[in-house]
Structure 1
Amino acid sequence: MSDPCETSMAADDNQAPEDDVKERCWDQREALPGEPQCVICGRYGEYICDETDDDICSFECKRTLLSRVAKSQASSASAQPPTVRLPALDECYYVRDGNNVSQPQFLSNSQTELLRRKLEISVRGDRVPEPILSFGSCNLPQKLLQNLEAAGYEMPTPVQMQAIPSALIGRSMLVLAETGSGKTCSFLVPIVSYCTKVKNNPQKPLAMVLTPTRELCIQVEEQAKVLGKVCPLRLH
């Protein structure tokens, strides 16, 4: 295995250098039996992190690993739980992001409207739930929260802030957002949460995702594997 900061060279001088280090974990293949696994996503641990000596599969997982190490060191230095601050607001919103939160943390009506205006969240319908300010504030399973952290999700995007709490209470939705805004995670988080909590898993599908293209289907499947890692789920 090679250092992800350098390009590995073949043992034979007549051979060409190996491919560059993969940028994203989705570009890496699944690990075969007996092969090292990435400590972040479980894919083939082709490289060794030069700062922690852990097996990793890509630069993306290396950044996630180093971020987790930094957070662990920071939390050990302070007994207070970390806070999350929303950027670019006229007022400051702080939410303590903890895994022991059993109920969503709701904002006042004026705060809700200000938050939606600043983040350009437009909603229609009756009794629309308030947007969440952190993944830890909506009673998600502990394993799912750990998978979100391992995948690099630090705080919800605007579409996730509004869509996730709505889906968690079973509301029907039609969501429109730009490409790359986090729509896939918006519906996968409630799906994984629901499937994880269902007891006595019945012999029938608990959720079905339809996509217009094969490429998008593969992308959704890969993301579902990341969020559903070590959860009692079976993907088809």
Structure 2
Amino acid sequence: MLNLAGSAALPRLLAGLGHQVMTVDKDLEVIRKLAADPRLVTIAAEAESLPFDPCQFDAVVAHQVFHRFAPGLVLSEMARVLRPGGTACVSYLVRDDSVPWVKRLVKLLRQVDENAMRGDYGDASVEALATSKYFPQVETRSFRVWQQVNRPTLLAMVSNQPAVAALDGEMRELVLADAAQLYDSATPGADELRLPFQLKVWRAWVDHEELTAPIEIDDTGLVIPL
């Protein structure tokens, strides 16, 4: 399995589940940190120019990073290194603002900054995968994920908003008081709130027929017509 860039959490999780994981990143500091885990094989490389022979991996995964790549280059590279029947998996963790207390928090912060909590997570970039000729079959699923938030954590999150931090002392204290009241009214008697996220996952199956240099497999190994 090949992991494209991103944090160490996903490749470590996959390795812990028993998968053989190779991960690439163009950031040498990231590679050095990942290399500290003996379960991972790490290579400094760009996702748009993978240093692997064709048909090397059963799966290529990219979590929270697909928007950082040039889609016209990375998709053909993902397809090239996948074995026939292999899959590309792209995922994003996106905050869900449909829960009432989160709506109230957003409204409160947007009184200070109209752009507050307008997260651009990059998930819109996955449209390139969904319409790619290299991956004609795409499956999409979504999972609810909850993050526990206590009163000090919520107030710190509000206080650290750039627009709130820029307020004078009195105005900042008023905003924090409103946030504290929001927390107390949302969870009377409870110790924590739950901040909801959606884990959005796209899985796509490779089709080698559309590659510029088609890949064929015979009984003796790989044959790549030029």
Same fold (TM over 0.5): no
TM-score (norm 2): 0.21
Please tell me whether Structure 1 or Structure 2 has the larger radius of gyration of its CA atoms.
2
Relative contact order, higher structure (CA 8 A, sep 6+): 2
